Structure 1
Amino acid sequence: MSKLLNSVNQRTQLAGENRLELLLFRLEDKQLYGINVFKVKKIITCPALNEMPHRHPIALGVANTMDGPLPIIDLKLAIGHGNAKNVRGKSVIVAEYNRKLQGFLVDKVEHIINIQWSDIHTPPRSVGNEHYLTAISKYGDEIIEIIDVEKIIAKIMPFNEEVQSPITDALDSTYDQKNKEGSAPNKNVLVVDDSVVTRNQIKRCIEAVGFSCKLLKNGLEAYQHLEELTVSGKHPNDEYLMMISDIEMPEMDGYTLTRRVKENANMKDLYILLHTSLSGVFNKAMVEKVGADDFIAKFDANELANAVLERLNH
């Protein structure tokens, strides 16, 4: 099974080209699901599990692995399709989200496909508001459902979204000083992320430090919005203190969005912070490749607030 996964360095060549590789799998049903290969560390057969005290129903238990304790999540139950019928012999996709490793129990891992982000689309409105999809695509005659894993993880491991008061005080002090100097920037932040959970997390964090947000769902929406501003005679750098963008997004990824903004003479001064749950190792290299101003890994409210403070200081 490990032959499915190439090295991270090889896979990163797709980044910035608006392409990705999806690992396809199934969950004891006919539906085809996908996860970005960048997130996947390894695929293993489900090991013996230890009970977790006060565990959430979707958490099957903890496995002892070479990487340390690994929580195993019943992905089928997590998306509301009922419990997995059995565990023994099933595959576990070990993936890194928000700086931590999790194992996702699946019935069958199939193969990897190379696909354009432009072929990945937001879910149709007909799925309602309670779904766990972040995007959909097609493989042959089949629909691929891409699950909002961050929404699932937030159910069992809520993130600390509280911003420490010293950071808030520092932001207020910095802004007041710049206001006295007549150089205070716009207090609006452009937020681009396909996960509704993450958009709301960022919104609460930004509003906690006295700023406002405009929320958009993908890179294409964001670029079109910035184009509309420039056509109307406005400069994005005057409208927004900064843009906080995810990397993995349907229609247009964050790398491609960043590169296109930095190549546009009317937009290039807009400060761009890439904010993602992807591995930090290759992201640091990609920040330089596409011209982003900074990168931080999801999700730490204080780090995000500090990033706003850093931007105010420049």
Structure 2
Amino acid sequence: MASESEFSVVAEGLRKRYGDKTALDGLDLAVPRGAVYGLLGPNGAGKTTCVRILSTLLRADSGHASVGGHDVRREPRKVRRRIGMTGQNPAVDEILTARENLRMFGRLFHLDHAMARRRAEELLSEFSLVEAADKQVKTYSGGMRRRLDLAASMILAPEVLFLDEPTTGLDPRGRSEVWDAVRGLTALGTTVLLTTHYLDEADKLSDRIVLIDNGRKITEDTPAGLKRAVGGDRIEVVVSVPADVPAAVKAVARVTRGVGPETDEEGLRVHAPVSDGVAALTEVARTLQENGVVCEDIGLRRPTLDEVFLRLTGKDKETEKGTDA
């Protein structure tokens, strides 16, 4: 069993069925303290069921789980005191101001008036909302609303924060604002369990990622480790004229250790996997320059988490339909 002194969230052998459908089939997790842990998988993989069990909203049929050192089945109240949750839709009141919202949430969490006011001011500062604190939330941008929603979930400074699709529908600026807020939370020691369909978001935020499908863990690693597992770096050369394609093939072949380069005649592109990307890129660029080959582009292409997702699940995250289980 994973040491609960090292991990904020521990789950072992979680199983859950809905009728004849298996949502979780022996899922194991161990989330280090102070880390952002990405939980990824196709629709129906079991992500939502897992989060609901860990947050005490649902009981597993079997298995063990603890959050903040407390058993989710035997000590649900103690678990709830140590967690925060932010869903896909902001829970704040649009008619109230940010300051009024945070004070209200403080009172709902049984803080006295003085402590609720004090905590509201702390959170307004931490989430860069001081200047807009007395404006109605309905005037806020999407990113500001999500930051306020995160602030509200931090009223009791939870040890573990569950984030479900935190940037759905936000523009790039709004997403960046939320990402900065999440990084700020982990810097203060909060552990974040993140579910998202934006794989670039998981890539940027997560210290480790677990990929689940059919209720089971397929693999777990850092974002970089997952990318390496599906093929590593590829060098790509795009030449200016068709006559230079053979020379580009020869230059790339010198650094691929016996793996024949692939060519795209129409796009004048030559590419191949390499083990030492930077050294290979330097060698190919030097060879092409010595042979007078003019390149439109040359560089290293690293696998994306999208490619990891497709390779390991065989499913297209964009075209899936239905509700996650």
Which has the higher relative contact order, 1 or 2, with Cα contacts under 8 A spaced 6 or more apart?
2
Give the alignment's TM-score, normalised by structure 2.
0.25
Larger of the two Rg values belongs to structure: 2
